[in-house]
Amino acid sequence: MAALRRWRFQIEALELESGILLDDFGAEAKDEASGEMVLDDFQARLEAERRADLWEQRTGGTVVKVVCASQGRVGAPLGSEQPKNGGIHGS
């Protein structure tokens, strides 16, 4: 069984000066934790792409890079694991 981790999702787009974190509706997250989800690695990659697609549909913008970044395993003691970059997708 794949390890469950807490994930955050970020995009970079042609229309943005810097990357933004996305919430589960494809909008800019209010804070870092508001867009977090608990998923395995495979699910996190799919979720990152889903959020990027939602952002493009909402804004008409063009995403050039999608990042899903692990905030650590669920149930692991704080500080016991380094964050893991789950995937970077770009064109």
Structure confidence at residue 76 (pLDDT): 65
Give the model confidence (pLDDT) of 25-36 as tens digits. 899 998 888 889
Q: Which residues of the chain have pLDDT under 50?
A: 91
Cα separation, 35 vs 25, in Å, equals 9
pTM (predicted TM-score): 0.77
Backbone angles phi, psi at 46, to 5 degrees: -65, -40
Query: What is the distance in angstroms between the CA of the first residue and the CA of the last residue of the chain?
Result: 31
Structure confidence at residue 5 (pLDDT): 96
Structure confidence at residue 88 (pLDDT): 55
- CB within 8 Å of 6: residues ≥ 6 apart: 36, 37, 38, 70, 71, 72, 74
Structure confidence at residue 91 (pLDDT): 45
Sign of CA dihedral 10, 82, 45, 30: negative
Structure confidence at residue 34 (pLDDT): 84
